[in-house]
Chain A
Amino acid sequence: MVEVEFNQQLYELEDGANLLTALEQQGVKLPNSCRAGVCQACLVQVIEGAIPHRAQEGLTTHQKAQGLAMACVCSLTGALRAQTPQEPAERFVSEILQRRWLKGDIVQLCINKPFEYQAGQYARLFSHPTNPGAPTELGRCYSMASLPDETHLEFHIRVIPSGLMSTHLAQLPLGAKLLVQGPMGNCFYQARSLDQPLLLAAIGTGMAPILGVARSALRAGHRGPIYCVMGAKEETGLYPLPGLHQVAAAPNVSLFYIVQQAGTYSDTYEIGDIYAKIRTLVPSMKGMQAYVCGAPSFVKKLKKQCFLAGANLKDIFSDAFLPS
């Protein structure tokens, strides 16, 4: 017999049995479909124990790193502790170290770093009950604009006048406490080779995490071409990003700013459609990787465009932001 703990419940299962079938026989209900190690409907997260190779065949690097495994092709060879796949649940207490307006309606917030993460990932922020008027049960996700080796977490937050969370965060004093949950998201640098061509595209505050992806690619010694396209509706949507100059100076990086509507300083950016720009820049995306951050409609449309241009689904990483 093999001891298997699933969602904190202990089961004695037959040696060599199939995890999905064996759990079902114990009355555990797991979502499933193909039962052949293909559709990934039955993913579980292994916290302890060896995962058979077959149970992770075809999963992404990120999924493997999280300990995800397909229960339907997981033969029990030893003790296992597993659970329904989950986001990191703990909320860390953190403190506001710096807060300033970057440009227009974007506020920069720096807080203590309570966890390690990869550039391009995001965290969920909650206000602390000690803050006056805190919408305590409101959790909102923001991408880290800082780099993993910096000592703090930096966020660029667009303040929406009707947004409960952003207006609250924008007026908190230095030293105010926040609760931070994370890191989450799979939009971080994970090229299959240092020579793979990359498309990095973002609009609005998606530019900060995308720049983080570019910086970690360069730091990893990425040699392939990196097409970096940043877009905004209007000129005021483009704001100064730390580290941008170093990224732009790298010989394998081509950086483009695209603005939909003409403004005063049109020599620093192009006016046009970001989708058309990307189509001209990389007509075929076969073998390429794409990293996309921004509003949900942008992310959805560009992902589809990348896929139709030949990029594999497993090579497209994205984060969609909701204004809040």
Chain B
Amino acid sequence: MSLFERIGGAAAVDAAVDIFYRKVLSDDRISQFFESVDMEQQAAKQKAFLTMVFGGPNHYSGQDMRKAHAGMHLTQMHFNAVIENLAETLKELGVAPGEITEIAALAGSVKADVLNQ
């Protein structure tokens, strides 16, 4: 079974998106990047992001990631904040530590694109 199926597929994404987005908006390290955006649109993007890191079908390309985050002057600190919020969300939802590690690794795979390295 794939990672995506093991953690519950689209239903798991649905359960995670509100919790994850709430954490991101409450995190002083990164909340300023989400101040001006429309909440519904942002939630849709978070869903697409979570689908990708949960190992689900997605059409994210490195170029998309690079373009979306260009000019934001993001650093390792910002990236860590997102990963921490992601891990906390998964813990709250009772996802097993082994799977959290797998998900964090998938999220880590886009780091160079997000940080424009």
Q: Which residues of A are in contact with B by a Cβ distance under 8 Å? A: 32-41, 57-58, 300, 303-304, 307-308, 310, 312-313
Q: Is there contact, CB below 8 Å, between A34 and B57? A: yes
Beyond A307-B25, A308-B26, whether A39 also contacts B51 by CB under 8 A is yes
| Complex contact A313–B39 (CB within 8 A) | yes
Scoring A34, A308, A312 by chain B CB atoms within 10 A of each residue's CB, the highest score goes to: A34
Closest-by-CB residue of A relative to B14 is A58
Whether B22 contacts A38 by the Cβ 8 Å rule is: no
Q: How many residues does chain B have at the interface if contact means C-beta atoms less than 8 Å apart?
A: 22
Asked if residues A33 and B59 are in contact (CB atoms below 8 Å), the reply is yes
Interface secondary structure of B, over-half rule: helix
A312 interface neighbour in B18, B40, B52, Cβ under 8 Å: B18
- Chain A proximity of B65: nearest CB distance (Å): 13
Out of A33, A38, A39, A304, name the residue touching B25 (CB < 8 Å): A304
What's the least CB distance linking B19 to chain A, in Å?
Answer: 10
Whether the Cβ atoms of A308 and B25 lie closer than 8 Å is: yes
Q: How far is the CA of A312 from the CA of B21 in the complex (A)?
A: 10
Q: Report the bound CA distance from A300 to B34 in whole Å.
A: 12
Whose C-beta in chain B lies nearest to the C-beta of A315? B18
Question: Which of A34, A57, A308, A310 is in CB contact (< 8 Å) with B58?
Answer: A34
Among B13, B22, B40, B48, which residue has its beta carbon within 8 angstroms of that of A33? B48
22 A-B contacts, Cβ less than 8 Å apart?
A33-B48, A33-B58, A33-B59, A34-B48, A34-B52, A34-B57, A34-B58, A35-B58, A38-B10, A38-B13, A38-B48, A40-B47, A41-B44, A57-B10, A304-B25, A304-B39, A307-B39, A308-B22, A313-B17, A313-B18, A313-B39, A313-B43
Taking chain A's interface residues, is the majority helix, strand, or loop, or is none over half, making it mixed? loop
On chain A, the residues within 8 Å of B21 by CB distance are: 307, 313
B57 surroundings in chain A (CB, below 8 A): 34-36
The CA-CA distance from A38 to B59 in the complex, in Å, is 12
Contacts of A41 on B, CB cut-off 8 Å?
44, 48
Residues of A within 8 A of B48 (CB): 33-34, 38-39, 41
Q: Which of B25-68 contact A (CB under 8 A)?
A: 25-26, 39-40, 43-45, 47-48, 51-52, 56-59
Whether A307 and B44, one on each chain, are in contact in the complex, defined by CB atoms closer than 8 angstroms, is: no
Tell me if B51 and A34 are in contact (CB < 8 A). yes
Q: Are A303 and B39 in contact (CB under 8 A)?
A: yes
Contact in complex: B43, A36 (CB < 8 Å): no
Besides A38-B56, A303-B39, 11 new A-B residue pairs in contact (Cβ under 8 A), listed by A number: A34-B51, A34-B56, A35-B57, A36-B51, A36-B57, A39-B51, A58-B14, A307-B25, A308-B26, A313-B21, A313-B39
CB distance from B80 to the nearest CB of A (A): 22
Distance (whole angstroms) from the CB of B113 to the closest CB of chain A: 17
